[in-house]
Amino acid sequence: MLKPNIVVLTGAGVSAESGLKTFRDADGLWNGYDINEVATPQGFAKNPALVLNFYNQRRKDVANAQPNAAHYFLASLQEQYSVQIITQNIDDLHERAGSKNVLHLHGEIFKMRSIANPFLIYPIHSDIHLGDLAPDGTQLRPFIVWFNEEVPLLEKAAEWVAAADILIIIGTSLQVYPAAGLINFVLPDTPIVIIDKNIPPFPSKKNIITIEQPATRGVESLPAILEALSDS
């Protein structure tokens, strides 16, 4: 008998409980920075040193963070289910908790790439400096999908969602597009479980279960829910 296929979409609310700043706060700032200055190609062109330093600090923050109970719970689901995680987060906390099948929609903080060729990608665990060049002779930049850039893995993520037996959404406001649009690819009869301390507005669909809790608390309700959904 095939294991039920669970697809999980995670956002900043999961990483926040590990002490990492959420990407976008209500004031449009990220850790005191204007998003347009540090998370757009235009910002990088205007002041590349500022952007590199910003992500160098994010890399240190992630290196010092630890997976939390939500990360570990999602990894444990692999024992009973086929699990695919689509995350909007750039950290590696899902992987460090043991999850094997993780798709990073918005890039990965421990990778860098050529500014000219998005397919020239290299690991990085230290700092990227102005003047650090890729083999093609161009400046290296963080392997991050910035605002106003295409999301290369969006099509693959949509395929995962469309094939889900159960979709779990944790710690995301469903406000950042195109990632928020992934919910539109779920099949009409597929159950959706949404966990967030502030349940976001979402398209009118049947089979939706909401758990208004932070990620680490909300996942405590999942075992019984998943067992009931798998048996139904």
Phi-psi region for residue 98, left (φ > 0), alpha (ψ -120 to 50) or beta? left
Copy the structure tokens of residue 198.
Answer: 């502030």
User: Is-catalytic flag, 94?
Assistant: no
CA 70, distance to chain mean position in Å, is: 13
Q: Which of 71, 94, 104, 106 is catalytic?
A: 106
| DSSP annotation string for the chain | -PPPEEEEEE-HHHHHTTTPPPS--TTSEETTEEHHHHSSHHHHHH-HHHHHHHHHHHHHHHHH----HHHHHHHHGGGTSEEEEEES--S-HHHHHT-S-EEETTEEEEEEEESS-TT-EEE-SS---TT-B-TTSSBEEEEE--TTS--TTHHHHHHHHHT-SEEEEES--S-STTGGGGGGGS-TT--EEEE-SSPPP----SSEEEE-S-HHHHGGGHHHHHHHHHH-
Say if residues 214 and 186 touch (Cβ distance below 8 Å).
no
The residues carrying an active-site annotation are 106
